[in-house]
Amino acid sequence: MTVIPSALGGASIALVLCCLASPAPAADDNAMTIANAFTAKYEQAVASKDAAKLAELFTQDAVFQNPAGVFKGRAAIQQYREGGFKAGVEKEDISIAGAEKSGDIIYDYGDTTIHINSKSGPKELKAHWGAVLTKRDNDWKLTLLTATPVPPPKSQ
């Protein structure tokens, strides 16, 4: 282990001890079950091409960040998704790589393929995603969703 001197002195040791003493989010068998059920609702909302139905899966103050921008709030997310449906988004296939639950919060992540039927023909966009689900009024909602495109394979 390498020790790097800090201007904080003993405060940095206290910070490390505090972090080590804090409990890690508990691995919960229900996290993946909840995440899978939520993902099914999300995929159904996309397949229905109903941006309002899809936006209802987000909290009022949710943030959706992707290469197109940062969309804050349910209304902005709904407007963004309406544009996607007009551009030909047909469906989304989502896979979950992992999920952890801590109280009324689930952190999950995975991959998605967005199927688009555009004027220039069918396309598939692949992305890695991360999400935070929050339980509000006995229902799980997206508080944060991020998506990063998977770069196309390099030509050989």
- What average pLDDT score do residues 6-10 get? 37
pLDDT tier, 153 (very low <50, low <70, confident <90, very high otherwise): confident
For the stretch 39-52, pLDDT in tens is 999 999 999 999 99
C-alpha 133/C-alpha 61 separation (Å) is: 12
Tokens 């995440």 -> residue: 35
Report pTM. 0.78
Share of the chain above pLDDT 70, in %: 81
For the stretch 89-134, pLDDT in tens is 999 999 999 999 999 999 999 999 999 998 899 999 999 999 999 9
The pLDDT score that the predictor gives to residue 154 is: 84
All domains of the chain, ordered by start, with CATH?
Answer: 26-149 (3.10.450.50)
pLDDT tier, 5 (very low <50, low <70, confident <90, very high otherwise): very low
Dihedral Cα 52, 57, 63, 65, nearest 10 deg: -80
